[in-house]
Amino acid sequence: MPLLGNLKQNGVQSEYERFLATICAKSPDDALSALKSSQLGLSRDLVEEQREAFGLNVLPIRRTLPFPFDLLERFKNPLVIQLLLICILCAIMGDIRSVIVVGGMIFLSVFLPISRKKGPTRPYSLLKK
């Protein structure tokens, strides 16, 4: 049975989850045997076989968008679009207070996630050095 499978969708247990559940129900020696491993780890031959099948054991590098494009992506959010329409309607009706309040909500909806996203990556990048 493959070690990788589809993720759980619509409350249905995936092949990977069923495989993991059967492994967890076994004794440690049986689980290691089912995973083609031992208490000392994988054999060199199995490591090479797994590398050929699955690739190197590294995390993929996530590409980040430049700031202006990231900002535009945030405006695709349905909440932001709805708030923009409300803000335009309030401006047309002359309700300046509502324009300011809704504009503030738009500002928070767009810029707050950017500040949260950028924050944790700085200390992580320092750890990588």
pLDDT band at 11 (very low <50, low <70, confident <90, very high): low
Mean of the per-residue pLDDT values of the chain: 80
Helices 96-128 and 78-93, packing angle to 10 deg: 150
Q: Which residue has better confidence, 92 or 65? A: 92
Token readout for 16 is: 């990977």
Give the range among 57-61, 88-92, 94-98 with minimum mean pLDDT: 57-61
Rounded average pLDDT over 86-91: 95
Residues in a beta bridge with 12: 9
